[in-house]
Amino acid sequence: MVQEFRSEISPPLLSAGSDRDLYLESTLQELQLYNFQVETSCTGVEVAKVFEKYPLLPGAILVEQGKYAGMISRRRLLEFLIRPYGQELFFNQALSILYSYARTSILVLPETTPILTAMQLTLRRSPELVAEPLVVQTAYNTYQLLDVQQLNIASWQIRGIETQVRYERSQAQMIQNDKMASLGRLVDGIAHEILDPVSFIWGNLTYVSNYSQDLLKLIAAYEKKLPVLSEEIVSLKEEIEFDFLEQDLSRTLASIRTGTERLKKMVISLQNFCHIDEVYPKPADLHACINNILLLINSRIKGEIEIIKNYGNLPPVYCFIGQLHQVFMNIFSQSIDFLLDEAVRQQFNSDSINKLEKPQIEITTSVVSQAATTPHAPDSRWVSIRITDNGPGMPQELQQKIIESFSVEKRANKETSLAVSYRIITARHGGKFNLISKVGLGTEFEILLPLL
């Protein structure tokens, strides 16, 4: 009998997967798997002896003529043997007979299944099957066993790693937010210091303009009363080019006024961009917000990209205006990069078929309504901001990566500017952030903010 047992049942083998370090993306093949297969013609007593010799073995893979037939766990076998008359009925019977009574649903997973996914599937089983081992398919018609306790321990280890990663990222985000807040306060202070002398210049330009006109009137009155001027005065007028000075003085003052006004708007836009939001949202003018960003990035788009504004009638929107400044800056920067890169590419590739016309960004704002999802509920109203460019568009692979970066489950190693924008719109404002792009036609970013 002992000789027969050795010939029909091979000793169980244990994989060395437990020596590997686990990560968030670890799969079942990185865990310890038991390779223990028995023919269905073997008896229950033979398998029981193996279970007694290897107390950690969770069960046995049943094969019939070398092909996978099922699995019987240690717990299930012992349950049948301890029943009244169980040993007399099943102890010396073939496993095929016992398995016909003990057959239960078996969770079979490929070895590439992530550990966290396998744990979720395990917990979804019926309560009486939660402790049953898993069958892991490692190759064609090759199956091994995974103890559910080992899966549980590995899952908890990964959850700990995930918690640590989230903690480290939150700490890094807090440090980054603190740096940005400090930088914002610094820039705001510098902008305030610039604004003071600019306001001084702006305020005195009116007086300088009036004084210069009065002096010109006085000179004209002198010339009228003294028609014959001395040679010294005539020589001085020629030396200073008085006729040109008289004509150009007003234009010079107007130019100074225009430059000062533009500088003042830029400094105010910079202050608005560095605005630190308060705890609660406040009503804001989104058109002014967009115009502030366009003024700040004007040096990149001037003469290169045409800006088309299709502004609708928008009411004040309750929002965190400082964060929306960041969202619009991120989107405009993305569109500008695509347009300028495509312009440079076509400049060096004169044989390009799809010639980009005039690079342009179109901004369209409106109030839209969406039907309610529940009966008798009022339709919801949203503010729509669509930023569309006529660039080369994004390939499907790039769009997929960007959309995946929006998902928390993907846990991108590096948070992109568009992922930050998505979080600000959806999490902070309860809005929607949509991306639509077609190769050769362009890209559109749509922001929907709810109206209270």
Total-model pTM: 0.53
Q: Give the residue among 56, 63, 53, 95 at the shortest CA–CA distance from 77.
A: 95
State the pLDDT at residue 388: 93
Tokens linked to 310 = 């299709």
β pairing state of 380-389 and 432-438: unpaired
pLDDT digits (tens, 9 = 90+) for 36-49: 888 888 887 788 88
pLDDT digits (tens, 9 = 90+) for 72-131: 888 887 777 666 655 665 667 777 777 777 667 888 999 889 888 888 888 888 887 888
Measured CA to CA, the distance from residue 94 to residue 101 in angstroms comes to 12
State the pLDDT at residue 366: 93
Confidence of residue 433 (pLDDT cuts 50, 70, 90): very high
Are 8 and 66 contacting, i.e. CB atoms less than 8 angstroms apart?
Answer: no
Least confident of 145-149, 162-166, 259-263: 162-166
- What would the DSSP string read from start to end of 108-135? EEETTSBHHHHHHHHHTS-GGGTTSPEE
What's the mean pLDDT in 283-287? Answer: 90
- What would the DSSP string read from start to end of 144-160? EEE-HHHHHHHHHHHHH
Q: How far is CA 263 from the centre of its chain?
A: 35
Does residue 352 surpass a pLDDT of 60?
A: no
Name the one residue in this structure whose structure tokens are 């989107």. 331
Residue 286 has a CB neighbour count (10 Å cut-off) of: 21
β pairing state of 432-438 and 37-39: unpaired
State the pLDDT at residue 384: 93
State the pLDDT at residue 179: 60
Are 290 and 362 contacting, i.e. CB atoms less than 8 angstroms apart?
Answer: no
Out of 8-12, 53-57, 178-182, 305-309, the most confident range is: 305-309
Are 343 and 304 contacting, i.e. CB atoms less than 8 angstroms apart?
Answer: yes
